[in-house]
Amino acid sequence: MSGSEEAPSEAALELAERPYGDYLLRGGPTPRAALPRKRQQPAAGWRPKLVALDVDGTIVSEDDTTPEAIRTALGRAAAAGVPIVLVTGRSWLAAKLVLDDLALPWPYCVCNNGATVLSHSPLKIVHNATFDARPIMAALRHHPTAVVAVEEFGRGYRCSGPFPDGELHGEISHVGWDELTCGPVSRLILRDPAISKEDFVALCVSLPLNGLSYFVGQNNWLDIASAETDKAAGLKIAADRLGVAAADVLALGDGLNDLEMLAWAGRGVALGQAQEELKQVAAAVTGRFEDGGTAEELNRWF
């Protein structure tokens, strides 16, 4: 390796060594090895004082609908005065679609895998972790088929090229490469549907991702955020503002970007379809989403 070449991060090398697309690749503040395994159940008489919910695969199906059983259970939780907080990898505009559809009171919403936390009344950003994306953008100049999107809060995205239909929400503006990162960004999405999975892995390995959090989602999709970003960090901000301790939080999720959140919460519950790595940090495993697992867990408490 020449002196001008940067060695891939350890996490990026891990990406190349593991099966593609079924795990979280991250360089954030909590290494996976430090996460607890099989947390103990809460004490007898425990009841949640806050419900934190992942969105896709936890309360929303692939066709963007929420089953009636989940709606009913969440309605009972809200009626009991228990705050409901969505904690999602979605942008604010995409999360708002779900909140509007549920039509339930919500004090806070955690978006962008924890990078952005919003309050409801009034609607404002109470936390937004940003990073300098210029080194990544410089590296991506050598990959002409890669497309990049940077979120513009409340509006949509600035994009270097077209994304597949339905993947981004809001106004989409196509801008020049230098206009994409004219300042700090909270989220950068890399997409390259034109190349193979193996080539996308190689592309990720080549990027200067040290000191950042990054999440592999759907095929040939990479979310990049600041090093302090994960769902637990964003949820903690919301919980602190509500005066709720981690021990009193019920959190449900099904993806590996839910690892930290389920490990942090007093009762972290993995959906039945989750990968084993997520189940290992959960206090409990409920049924699969399609079998009513989310409602099953909520019905235990409300």
DSSP notation for 176-244: -HHHHTSS-BS-EEEE-TTS-HHHHHHHHHHS--TTEEEEE-STTEEEEEETT-SHHHHHHHHHHHHT-
What is the per-residue pLDDT across 49-64, written as a single tens digit (0 to 9) for each?
999 999 999 999 999 9
The answer to whether the beta carbons of residues 256 and 278 sit under 8 Å apart is: yes
- Whole-number Å distance between alpha carbons of 102 and 166: 21
Q: Is the pLDDT of residue 265 over 80?
A: yes
Q: How confident is the model at residue 24 (pLDDT cuts 50, 70, 90)?
A: very low
Q: Is the pLDDT of residue 8 over 80?
A: no
Q: How confident is the model at residue 71 (pLDDT cuts 50, 70, 90)?
A: very high
Q: Is the pLDDT of residue 212 over 70?
A: yes
Q: How confident is the model at residue 236 (pLDDT cuts 50, 70, 90)?
A: very high
Check residue 156 and give left, alpha or beta (phi > 0: left; psi -120 to 50: alpha). Answer: left
Its pTM stands at 0.85
Amino acid at 25: L
| pLDDT for 16 | 42
Mind giving me the DSSP string for 133-171?
-HHHHHHHTT-TT-EEEEEETTTEEEESSPPPTTSS-SE
Average pLDDT, stretch 19-46?
57
- Whole-number Å distance between alpha carbons of 266 and 213: 24
Average pLDDT, the chain: 86
- Whole-number Å distance between alpha carbons of 34 and 128: 25
Q: Is the pLDDT of residue 118 over 80?
A: yes
What is the per-residue pLDDT across 157-199, written as a single tens digit (0 to 9) for each?
999 998 888 888 888 999 888 788 777 888 999 999 888 888 8
| pLDDT for 22 | 41
Average pLDDT, stretch 117-145?
91
Domains of the chain in sequence order: 10-30+130-226 (3.30.1240.10), 37-128+230-299 (3.40.50.1000)
| pLDDT for 228 | 80
Q: Which of 9-23, 116-130, 139-153 ranks highest by mean pLDDT?
A: 116-130
Q: What residues contact 176, with CB distance under 8 A and at least 6 apart?
A: none
| pLDDT for 237 | 98
Q: How confident is the model at residue 4 (pLDDT cuts 50, 70, 90)?
A: very low
| pLDDT for 38 | 58
